[in-house]
Amino acid sequence: MPGQVTSVAVLGTGIMGGAMAKNLAAAGFETRAWNRDSSKAEALADAGVTAQETPAEAVDSADAVITMLADGAAARSVMDEQGALSAMDTRAVWVQASTVGVAATEELSGLAGGCGIGFVDAPVLGTKQPAEDGDLVILASGPRECQEPLGPVFDAISKKTVWLGEAGKGTRLKLVVNSWILAMTTALGETVAIAEALDVDPSAFLEAIDGAAMDSPYAQTKGPAMISGSYETSFPLSLALKDVRLVLEAVGDGAELRLMEAIRATNERAEELGHGEADMAAVAEAARPAPSRPA
């Protein structure tokens, strides 16, 4: 297990990982990065982050390794098949910050254990702006002896860390939170469509609930994007769809998730309409009537 952490490798420097790497470098950590599209890692040079050509080179001699990748398959590929895990020092710790689901978390934890590497399951709450501002919330779970060494690392990228016990509990709580976020976003999209169908300005809806008990910051953030149809990506719809599938997979027969099934179908429809890489607010497009086609 690590002593003082002075060097960190970030594997995956997309919207979230790139911002995390910048904040780590700004906090004084020696920060290295790797990304499948190397230009995204190289773009961090001005922030003091050193890009590496391979995952194994990035993690070599790092005290902590953070994976912020698309899914469990990507994390397994980078850490196992591309050799990052075997290149890590046995005193280093792997912080798995991607949302990969329960089954994949268990698999990745097992891979780490097989190599004698400490594993911390630490998915994050937040999207683009909180990541850039260092205002994420970390749902950490793993060995108690990792908590103190990782404290300064987590402080550099988050406003709060919640430690939850053994590895895997962070992922379980993340799925619970994501189910709530997905429900809010999908319901908001349909509410905007209902207003439009009833010839009500949906902005009047947002004004009516502003500051009231039924209001939410998500409504006031995502609502204007839904109304304008402008979906600058803070969190891609394709990843939101991945997350609802992970919720359904993890719960299985443990509950009757009729709402989650409907949310999956609605997000799948939005993806079919070509909005997979747009912000998750584009789920609203699934509720709008199809454009009329010429005869």
What domains appear along the chain, each with residue ranges and CATH number? 7-166 (3.40.50.720), 172-286 (1.10.1040.10)
* Residue-level pLDDT at 290: 79
Residues 6 or more apart whose Cβ sits within 8 Å of residue 188: 218, 219, 222, 223, 226, 284
Residue 96 main-chain phi, psi, to 5 deg: -90, 100
174 is catalytic: yes
**What CA–CA distance (Å, rounded) separates 127 from 294?**
40
Tell me which amino acid residue 184 is. Answer: M
Which of 129, 122, 159 lies closest to 143 in space, CA to CA? 122
Residue 267 main-chain phi, psi, to 5 deg: -70, -35
Residue-wise pLDDT tens digits, 83-133: 999 999 999 999 999 999 999 999 999 999 999 999 999 999 999 999 999
Tell me which amino acid residue 114 is. Answer: G
Which residues of the chain are under the pLDDT cut of 70?
A: 1-2, 291-295
Encoded tokens for 115: 């190599």
Residue-wise pLDDT tens digits, 6-27: 999 999 999 999 999 999 999 9
**One of 22, 40, 169, 174 is an active-site residue; which one?**
174
Is 0.85 topped by the overall pTM?
Answer: yes
* Residue-level pLDDT at 6: 97
* Residue-level pLDDT at 73: 97
* Residue-level pLDDT at 3: 77
* Residue-level pLDDT at 292: 41
Average pLDDT across the chain, whole number: 96
* Residue-level pLDDT at 1: 60
